[in-house]
A and B are shown apart, each in its own frame.
Chain A
Amino acid sequence: MNWRAIWAIASKDVSVALRTRAVMLPLLIVPLVLMVGIPSVVGLISGMANQMAAAESQMADLTRAMPPEFASRYAGLNDVQAGLVYFLVYLFAPMYLVLPLMASAVVAADSFAGEKERKTLEALVYTPTTDRELLLAKVLGALIPGAMVGLGGFVVYTIVANLVALNVVGMLILPNTLWLLLAFFVGPAAAAFGLGVTVIASSRVNSFQEAYQIGSLVVLPIVLLVVGQAMGAFLLSNWLVLLLGIVLWAADAVVFFIASASFRRTALMARI
């Protein structure tokens, strides 16, 4: 493996993508809205409701089912407070996965399809890299920002959610096992998944926008998770998150197998 070339390509992709508006905007706006905007608004509303509520009805009265570890850890909270904690810690958790997914997809779209669109791919295929080295370089170049955005989002969310909880509930709520699993195990898998799908899409389309749009479709299952949980179809537990991570990593293996088969310079050039 020609690591110097791999690293040169990956780091150039990252630094150039970060200077591109079409890439930077979603990388900034999506985390801001999801990780700061939504919890803040929910926190504000809960705060007001909490003050108005009689604050008498206890957790035990809640008709809604709560995750097993929830009742013991948050015993003594009133309805509004419990609702807020439930939202911040559990209901919102799948939403977090949008970050690594979207971030790696947008950078991958720029570095694969964008490279074709800007016609810079042709110079790259003439370099003394093998197909595998080229793919690895490109994957790293998208995975690293994807994972970084994911971890950065986790840190920001931990701060915001704790501030909100401190204000309304009077306690710190994050990080817990579930979120640590989410950030360090499931998140990277999600980043790899968004990336892999975008790589496959990129070999079939010719523009950044198209590749990004197709890559972003993988966000849909996450929405399903959020909705499913909200409707009470299931509850996120540590085990379920662990399982989700394992499934995602397995899906990654399949996606990367397909991607590495479709990423051959001879095949890419035959389509140009």
Chain B
Amino acid sequence: MAEDAQVVITTEGLTRSFGDNVAVDRLTISIRAGEVFGFLGHNGAGKTTTVRMLNGVIAPTGGGARIFGLDPQTDGARIRARTGVLTETPALDNRLTARATLEYFSDVYGVPRSLRRQRVAELLERFELTKRADDKVGGFSKGMRQRLAIARTLVNDPDIIFLDEPTSGLDPVATREVHRLIERLSHRGRTVFLCTHNLAEAERLCDRVAVLARGRVLATGTTRELAAELNRGHRISVEVDTDATERALALFTALPQVSSAAVVGDRAAARNGGTLLLLNGVARPDVPPVIAAAAAAGLNVYRVEPVDSSLEDVYFALQGQ
């Protein structure tokens, strides 16, 4: 991703309230062409409302946005011609066949007539729907419906693809397919706006993420940047005897090198009568004195490991703020 890559989405204080409920609260983000941008948040965080505002299908109550330099409120149709949106529910008409669905949306999106047949056939093939192409959508499994909905999202070969929780409710195989698709879209230079509450998914696929809670962005950046921002880069886990847990916690927290300590669940430790403790703020040079202090106090230490900060840690730390 080049530093000077074109910015395709910017928002400035973008806000939407429903009565007293502020669904999206002063959102300011900027997304470059070709990025896979993760929009991470629990249910009700404001992800769907944001996608709607960016595509001009719901009006903001404050602030504004530009997509391809256009204002969604006045140029919504021109923006939507170049975006594809996978909605949270597949929004498919059960009475149409898979092929008819794609042909219908090709027409509505203005796919050139000469290309339509081929484009539809390609999409059916790519999403493994060719065999069922002339069956009514009503009889499709959840995974097939999702594949068809994604295929529909791509009929106009969009520059920006919005995916609103594309893997929620899918089995692992279907999930992996969706992940591969996102990777392929990214390789082909498409911009992907991925709404998800799945941290592993965001961590695996996204160049950058914004963590959203109750309509507000808590942090934006790469996973690593977010971890650094929280200063939670240095952590170790330590396994001690379970019946010494309290004493160990008291001892470690009292040490100047340790900012905080907590018990984490760990089956392997539990099977051996041990408990895993997480010690925060312990940089590499701090490890020997910390272990020495434990040994001097008569604690049995069975294993010591550095712990990488994951997006998940960042997420929960931010949500807890």
Q: Which residues of A contact B (CB under 8 A)?
A: 2, 4-5, 7-9, 12, 16, 19-20, 118-130, 265-266, 269-270
Smallest CB separation, B291 vs chain A (Å): 57
Contacts of A266 in B (CB 8 A): 56-59
Closest to A130 in B: B77
**B94 on the A face (CB < 8 A):** yes
**B32 on the A face (CB < 8 A):** no
Contacts of A5 in B (CB 8 A): 107-110
Q: Report the Cα distance A269→B80, complex, angstroms.
A: 16
Contacts of B91 in A (CB 8 A): 119-123
| Interface positions of B from 92 to 115, Cβ below 8 Å from A | 92-96, 104-105, 107-110
Contact indicator A128/B93 (Cβ below 8 Å) = no
Q: How large, as a class, is the contact surface on chain B?
A: 20 to 34
Contacts of A130 in B (CB 8 A): 76-77
Contacts of A118 in B (CB 8 A): 93-94
Contact indicator A129/B89 (Cβ below 8 Å) = no
Given A266-B57, A266-B58, A126:B96 Cβ within 8 A: no
Given A5-B108, A128-B109, A16:B57 Cβ within 8 A: no
Contact of A123 among B78, B79, B152, B156 (CB under 8 A): B152
Smallest CB separation, A8 vs chain B (Å): 4
Q: Report the Cα distance A100→B18, complex, angstroms.
A: 39
Contact indicator A126/B85 (Cβ below 8 Å) = yes
Contact indicator B58/A269 (Cβ below 8 Å) = yes
Contact indicator B57/A129 (Cβ below 8 Å) = no
Contact indicator A4/B93 (Cβ below 8 Å) = no
Smallest CB separation, B117 vs chain A (Å): 15
| Interface positions of B from 64 to 81, Cβ below 8 Å from A | 76-81
Residue from A2, A7, A12 whose CB has the most chain B CB atoms within 10 Å: A12
Contact of B110 among A2, A122, A270 (CB under 8 A): A2
Contact indicator A127/B92 (Cβ below 8 Å) = no
Contacts of B58 in A (CB 8 A): 266, 269-270
Contacts of A16 in B (CB 8 A): 93, 95-96
Contact of A120 among B78, B93, B108 (CB under 8 A): B93
Q: Report the Cα distance A125→B152, complex, angstroms.
A: 14
Contact indicator A19/B95 (Cβ below 8 Å) = yes
**Contact sample, A vs B, 15 pairs, CB 8 Å cutoff:** A5-B108, A19-B95, A20-B95, A118-B94, A122-B89, A126-B80, A127-B80, A127-B109, A128-B77, A128-B81, A128-B109, A265-B57, A266-B56, A266-B57, A270-B58
**B87 on the A face (CB < 8 A):** yes
Contacts of A129 in B (CB 8 A): 77, 108
Q: Report the Cα distance A25→B77, complex, angstroms.
A: 37
Contact indicator A8/B18 (Cβ below 8 Å) = no
Q: Report the Cα distance A125→B149, complex, angstroms.
A: 15
Q: Report the Cα distance A2→B80, complex, angstroms.
A: 14
**B55 on the A face (CB < 8 A):** yes
Contacts of A270 in B (CB 8 A): 18, 58-59
Closest to B152 in A: A123
Contact of B57 among A2, A4, A19, A269 (CB under 8 A): A269
Contact of B92 among A2, A12, A120 (CB under 8 A): A120
Given A9-B108, A119-B89, A128:B18 Cβ within 8 A: no
Q: Assuming A5-B109, A7-B107, A127-B108, what are 18 further A-B pairs, CB within 8 angstroms?
A: A2-B110, A5-B108, A5-B110, A8-B104, A8-B108, A20-B95, A118-B93, A118-B94, A121-B91, A123-B105, A126-B57, A127-B109, A128-B77, A128-B78, A128-B79, A128-B156, A266-B58, A269-B57
Smallest CB separation, A23 vs chain B (Å): 11
Contact indicator B87/A122 (Cβ below 8 Å) = yes
Contact with A along B34-70 (1 / 0, CB 8 A): 0000000000000000001001111100000000000
Contact indicator A128/B104 (Cβ below 8 Å) = no
Contacts of B107 in A (CB 8 A): 4-5, 7-8
Contact with A along B15-38 (1 / 0, CB 8 A): 000100000000000000000000
Contact of B80 among A7, A19, A120, A128 (CB under 8 A): A128
Q: Report the Cα distance A173→B110, complex, angstroms.
A: 50
Closest to B16 in A: A270
Q: Report the Cα distance A269→B95, complex, angstroms.
A: 23
Residue from A5, A9, A124, A128 whose CB has the most chain B CB atoms within 10 Å: A128
Contact of B55 among A8, A12, A119, A126 (CB under 8 A): A126
Contacts of A121 in B (CB 8 A): 91
Smallest CB separation, B154 vs chain A (Å): 13
Contact indicator B104/A12 (Cβ below 8 Å) = yes
